[in-house]
Amino acid sequence: MRTFQNLRTINRAVILLLVALLPAFLSTGCRKQPSTGRRYELSGKVVSVDKTNRTATIAHEDIKGYMPGMTMEFRFKDDWPLAVLVPGDQITGTLVVDGISSWIEEPVIAKEAVADPDAKAGDGLAEPRAGDEVPDFQLVNQDGKQIHLAQYRGKTLLITFVYTRCPLPDYCTLMSNNFH
């Protein structure tokens, strides 16, 4: 009988302790934990959106303290921006770089103004289609030598374009390593 009373006393104490601690557990569980990593302000214009890969290509301005302005893909932390982004939108947000990955958080999207229906059409340039012949062009290779595409007609040629000043760990260095 004495053991049963001791057990009831212990059970009450445990229940009271749990009831007292429950608000603390609930408040910590519901709070959004900030992500780790270095944070930089990003601003630019959306060039394209790839919902499948959860990325958008953005022509961004200089990212102060991190990299010069260029056009490249960025991942998003949340799904909602990908549902509303379209080419031409202006975007600002926080670029988070954490270990081997990076993403944009807290995006603010400004929609492009609707075009004037009476405005003249574009400059008449058309995008190339699959199977079109690539015109000859000149590049500087990794050895600093100028090369022409015509030099390689009839030969197998692999070309990749790398951002030479891109510090994002999940794009530039990774792309070069995969190409190698």
pLDDT in tens, 12-34: 655 554 555 555 555 555 445 55
> Which residue blocks in 31-115 are alpha helix, DSSP H?
80-84
Q: Average pLDDT for residues 146-174, to the nearest whole number?
A: 75
Dig out the tokens for 138 from the structure.
């000149």
Among positive and negative, which fits the CA dihedral 67, 69, 71, 77?
positive
Q: Supply the pTM of this predicted model.
A: 0.53
Q: What is the pLDDT of residues 103-147, one digit of tens each?
A: 999 999 998 755 555 555 455 556 777 888 888 888 887 788 988
Measured at the CA of 40, the angle between CA 39 and CA 42, to 5 degrees, comes to 135
Q: What is the pLDDT of residues 90-107, one digit of tens each?
A: 999 999 998 888 999 999
Q: What is the pLDDT of residues 24-75, one digit of tens each?
A: 555 555 445 556 789 999 999 999 999 988 999 999 999 998 889 989 899 9
DSSP H/E element including 15: helix 2-30
